[in-house]
Structure 1
Amino acid sequence: MTRKRLWITRRLSDATLKRAARDYDVVINHQDTPGTAEELIAASAEFDAIIPCHSEHFCADVVARFSDRLRIVANHSVGVDHCDLPALKERGIAITNTPDVLSDATAELAMLLMLGAARHAVAGDRIVRTGAWDSWSPAFMVGKQVTGARLGIIGMGRVGRAFAAKARGFDMDIHYYNRTELAPDLAQGATYHGSVESLLSIADFLSLHCPATAETTNLMNQERFALLPQGAVIVNTARGALVDETALLDALTQDHLAAAGLDCFQVEPGGNPAFATHDNIFMLPHIGSATRQTRDAMGFRALDNLDAFFAGKTPGDLL
């Protein structure tokens, strides 16, 4: 039987590439650069399947130019805001993602960002690293305590719940907003709020874990930042589109917010150059799922979806 042709657009984990080469006629982009629109269009005529990352954009005008050969896009990501789902489905192309397997890794990074932002990690590292640490006093670099504080979570899906579980280790009082209230066994005692505004009013710390959609773009804007308590800390490990970055800077420079911990930005790669001069913004380059264990699991999940599809079964993560 002729093996299905598969294009892998980025340099995935070694274990993933080895398994893919075993089961498919695979072409790998070893240059590890984002696939362009023209490359995606050309690939649709050459391959039966593509495993892309969030860096490849399947917008409607690109999908409209696809060949009929391409049958499935098995994303190596949970978020699919880089895919025009209606356009792909209209062409009869199956779309899958990789949920579950990156929840703990992303929640770990959210905890790192929350602690780093609250306890002056950027300034502290710079002071020691540059040899500028030449004094100490009880007033030196006093931060915001996490233990026992009220944590607001927007989006109590898999990652939000994983973060809540870790926050309980710090005895945080957990509150959340979600499109629907969770069953008690999932909420684990967290307090539900029926609106974002209600949640913001009590959140000493706020962590974003919802997808980027038309409804959530600039979810955190000037009006909503103003609803947070004075001295609050915001963490975003979800999508950069959720935060109005100009409004965030205003809230920080006006000392309404104490700090921010960010793993994602409106422009990626690159981030926001205006953030660089603010020591109270702790930043990482969108690496929430970047552990060896998680990268293997994401790659295998994408391949599981392909295997099921080409075996005539419904992929477990079909969107």
Structure 2
Amino acid sequence: MTTSTSTRSPFLDLPGAVDGDGRDVGVAAHYGDPLREQRLLSEGLGVVDVGNRGVVTVTGPDRLSWLHSMTTQALTGLAPRTSAETLVLSPKGHIEHALHVVDDGETTWITVEPGTSPALVAWLESMRFMLRVEVADVTADFAVLGEASRAESLDGERLAWVDPWPAPVGDTALYGPLEGHPGADRAWREVIVPRADLLAAAGDRAPVGLWAAETLRVQAWRPRLGLETDHRTIPHEVDWLRSAVHLHKGCYRGQETVARVHNLGRPPRRLVFLHLDGSGHGLPDPGAAVMAGEKEVGRLTSVARHHEEGPIALAVIKRNTPVDIDLVAGGVAAAQTVVVAP
């Protein structure tokens, strides 16, 4: 994969910067000490360049009601500078796009996974009809900085998407809070800034690589499109009902599947968090088989080494896999924590 010179991060010119790979090429994976970078990020002293995320804007008086009608979240009453997470589903309810949404009162700003903004914009354009909306891919002009800090310390002056996870959103409050969740007292947010001001917007905080941010994501049981999902994934399987789906709003594409599986309570697969045996030197690769005895029950989706908890991972496994058994992931013993109850 090649990186456009217009979106290549200036952070890659900082001392020690190592470029990411795959979907995360073009931003720094780390700056030489990933574990130290994790600690800085956890303490609110670091900033992560996630400038490879796509940035899309929607303007016009119909923007919020239009997005509301096509995606999984209730957006008509979204107040300025209030964040939301929503999904674009296929007609059969499979996840196609995960949207981080914040409105500034005049423009709805959306950030999406790297490389997916052109497809999202093309689909949105095809759905405009006669509505008063304008859609633009502004990835070349705007970028995203990520930061993790205590919720009470967040600065509300800059335009930012604040992750609702793990608090339940809207009518998903029926799920209740995730008691004891490792990310419950930490807020992750993505600040949208002009790409030309990316370095300056970091201020005096230490640059932190994407590996550190991904480790905190895994620790927080947070799914990522394209890693925890494939072409068959429905929101129930990866716990996206909690933060990205409104269960009693009007019709949208894929709603029939969402309602049917929610009412039956039987998604075919479920997300789990794994503590991996750290006695070996290596970690299993994402995509490795997860075994229950002699039976393959799923696949690893994300793997990381946490500075306090050691090797951790997310996996998607068959729904009916017993919750009280240890698993083996890529040849490594793994203790499961239930994220999506079977």
Please give the TM-score of this superposition, normalised by the length of structure 2.
Answer: 0.24
Larger Rg computed on CA atoms: 1
Richer in strand (by share): 2
